[in-house]
Amino acid sequence: MDTFATLRDIIVEKFEKDPAEITPEATFETLEIDSLDTFDIIFSAEEKFGIKVPNEQVEIKTVQDVVNLIDKLRAAQGKV
């Protein structure tokens, strides 16, 4: 499962965004997605990838930040 493509689909589905807007470099701020909404994205990513993102606050600014977080956890939790 391609992490970025899956994440993009989650964002597009939830926020009815144009897929072209969702690039790795795009910041959630420019996408007008606030921190509360990023929790919702992470929630869906947890289900989709079968991982558990720890509850500690993580620094997330761009789409790539979430991709990195997911990849790291998939590797650590053996869900690649």
Partner 1 sequence: MTRRVAITGLGLVSPLGNTPEIFFNALMAGKSGIRRIEADFAERLDTKIAAQAEFDPLQHFTKHKASSLDRVSQFALYAAGQAIIDAGLDMERVDKSRMGVYLGTGMGGAASVEEGYVRLYRDSAERLKPFTVLMAMNNAAASQIGLEYGLTGANLTYSTACSSSSIAIGEAFHQVRHGYADVMLAGGAEALLTFGTIKAWEALRALASEDKGNASASCKPFAADRSGLVLGEGSAIVVLEDMELAKLRGAHIYAELTGYGSGNDSSHITQPSPAGQAAAMRAALHCAGLIPSEIGYINAHGTGTPLNDPAETAAIKLAFGEHAPNIPVSSTKSMHGHLMGATSAVEFVACVLALTHGAVPPTINLQNPDPACDLDYVPNVGRRGVPLRHVMSNSFAFGGTSGVLIASRVD
Interacting residue ranges for partner 1, rule: CB under 8 A: 14-16, 36-37, 39-40, 42-43, 46, 52
Q: In whole angstroms, how close is the CB of 32 to partner 1 at the nearest point? A: 11
Q: In whole angstroms, how close is the CB of 29 to partner 1 at the nearest point? A: 16
Sort residue 50 into left (φ over 0), alpha (ψ -120 to 50) or beta: left
| C-alpha–C-alpha distance, residues 18 and 50, integer Å | 26
Cβ nearer to partner 1, comparing 13 with 72: 13
Q: In whole angstroms, how close is the CB of 47 to partner 1 at the nearest point? A: 8
One-letter amino acid of 44 = S
Q: Record the tokens describing residue 36, joined without a space.
A: 């509360």
